[in-house]
């Protein structure tokens, strides 16, 4: 009889301790749980409900709208146009940013001493508030008096009307985005610095050219970082808002062409200029699905292309 009693006791004490530990744990993570509930669970559910409603902002009430908002997505030509603009921008900006970052990171990695100073210089644009960047680039990109076209003229090139020509409005934003390529650069530089020097020495003794070393050693070993940057930069590019809004749609001037009206800008205009909250919610869900699909495709493709070290360690 005393035997089972003894057995139970040592079990019970840790369980009480464990319960108090669990309680403390829940208390500690409570702030995040509350935030998750309000700003993710409730928010996303509300967004879904809104997308099936006509929402009246003044009274704060919604009336059922069935699939109206989603049907409008298909019939409103600006939705398709802005989606096309956004994809065009992403396809242009994401690879250019990563390629330029890779070039800059290799340069910094190659100069050895002094790279710290230049790493700082390259990163400074990334620290600059977008508003300040836009106010400067608005004038640098000016087709007539801007510094960019002035320099191009020195080489005999007649620069485009960056901000006025619909064909050059998206590239203008790409140029502005590329100025802050330093963000991707320092991430890639950290990855490059983790590649063991012996690999290059071994390859050099085997007679591998610098180009071969780059393609066979550098690229595979930093491919997880390249993959990370592709995913993160794509998600950011699909939501781009600030740059386009500040350069083109800030003053609500209706005569500005649609060429740089990105999906994020149109979503903002639908919600906070037109107060079509239901339609904006439907647009947001469409964007969410598009981002999910694109990310899933990138992950699928990456399985074949990304090299993960660690099997041998």
Query: Quick one: 90 or 280, whose CB is closer to another protein?
Result: 280
Convert 2-25 to b/e letters by CB count within 10 Å (16 or more is b). eeeeeeeeeeeeeeeeeeeeeeee
Query: Quick one: 6 or 197, whose CB is closer to another protein?
Result: 197
Q: Rounded to an integer, what distance in angstroms lies between the CA atom of residue 193 and that of residue 221?
A: 11
CB of 139 to another protein, least distance (A): 6
Query: Quick one: 5 or 60, whose CB is closer to another protein?
Result: 60
Name beta bridge partners: 53: 64
Q: How many residues does the chain have?
A: 313
Q: List Cβ neighbours of 153 (8 Å cut-off, separation of 6 or more).
A: 159
Query: Quick one: 3 or 206, whose CB is closer to another protein?
Result: 206
Quick one: which of 88, 58, 85, 54 has its CA closest to 72?
54
Query: Quick one: 65 or 140, whose CB is closer to another protein?
Result: 140
CB of 267 to another protein, least distance (A): 6
Are the C-beta atoms of residues 253 and 164 closer than 8 Å to each other? no
CB of 184 to another protein, least distance (A): 9
Query: Quick one: 8 or 29, whose CB is closer to another protein?
Result: 29
CB of 65 to another protein, least distance (A): 15
Q: Which pair of tokens denotes residue 200?
A: 């290059």
Backbone phi and psi for residue 140, each to the nearest 5 degrees, phi listed first: -65, -35
Quick one: which of 296, 307, 281, 245 has its CA closest to 70?
281
Our measurement of the distance from residue 267's CA atom to the centroid of its chain's CA atoms, rounded to an integer in Å, reads: 17
CB of 123 to another protein, least distance (A): 7
Are the C-beta atoms of residues 189 and 255 closer than 8 Å to each other? no
CB of 46 to another protein, least distance (A): 4
Q: Which pair of tokens denotes residue 69?
A: 């908002």
Query: Quick one: 168 or 266, whose CB is closer to another protein?
Result: 266
CB of 258 to another protein, least distance (A): 19
């Amino acid at each position: 009889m005393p035997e089972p009693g003894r057995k139970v006791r040592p079990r019970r004490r840790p369980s009480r301790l464990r319960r108090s530990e669990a309680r403390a744990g829940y208390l500690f993570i409570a702030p995040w749980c509350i935030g998750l509930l309000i700003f993710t669970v409730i928010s996303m559910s509300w967004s879904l409900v809104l997308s099936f409603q006509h929402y009246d902002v003044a009274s704060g009430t919604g009336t059922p709208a069935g699939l109206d908002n989603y049907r409008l997505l298909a019939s409103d030509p600006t939705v398709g146009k802005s989606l096309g603009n956004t994809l065009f921008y992403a396809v242009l900006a994401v690879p250019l940013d990563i390629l330029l970052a890779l070039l800059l990171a290799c340069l910094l990695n190659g100069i050895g001493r002094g790279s710290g100073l230049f790493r700082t210089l390259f990163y400074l644009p990334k620290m600059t508030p977008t508003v300040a960047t836009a106010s400067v680039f608005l004038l640098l990109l000016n087709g007539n008096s801007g510094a960019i076209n002035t320099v191009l003229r020195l080489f005999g090139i007649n620069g485009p009307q960056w901000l006025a020509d619909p064909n050059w409005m998206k590239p203008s934003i790409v140029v502005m985005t590329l100025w802050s390529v330093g963000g991707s650069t320092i991430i890639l530089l950290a990855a490059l610095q983790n590649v063991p020097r012996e690999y290059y020495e071994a390859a050099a003794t085997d007679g591998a050219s610098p180009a071969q070393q780059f393609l066979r050693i550098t690229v595979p070993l930093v491919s997880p970082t390249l993959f990370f940057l592709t995913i993160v930069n794509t998600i950011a590019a699909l939501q781009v808002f600030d740059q386009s809004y500040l350069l083109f749609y800030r003053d609500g001037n209706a005569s500005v062409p649609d060429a740089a009206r990105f999906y994020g800008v149109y979503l903002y205009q639908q919600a906070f200029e037109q107060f079509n909250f239901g339609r904006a919610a439907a647009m947001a869900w469409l964007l969410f699905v598009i981002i999910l699909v694109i990310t899933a495709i990138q992950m699928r493709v990456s399985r074949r292309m990304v090299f993960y070290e660690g099997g041998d360690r």
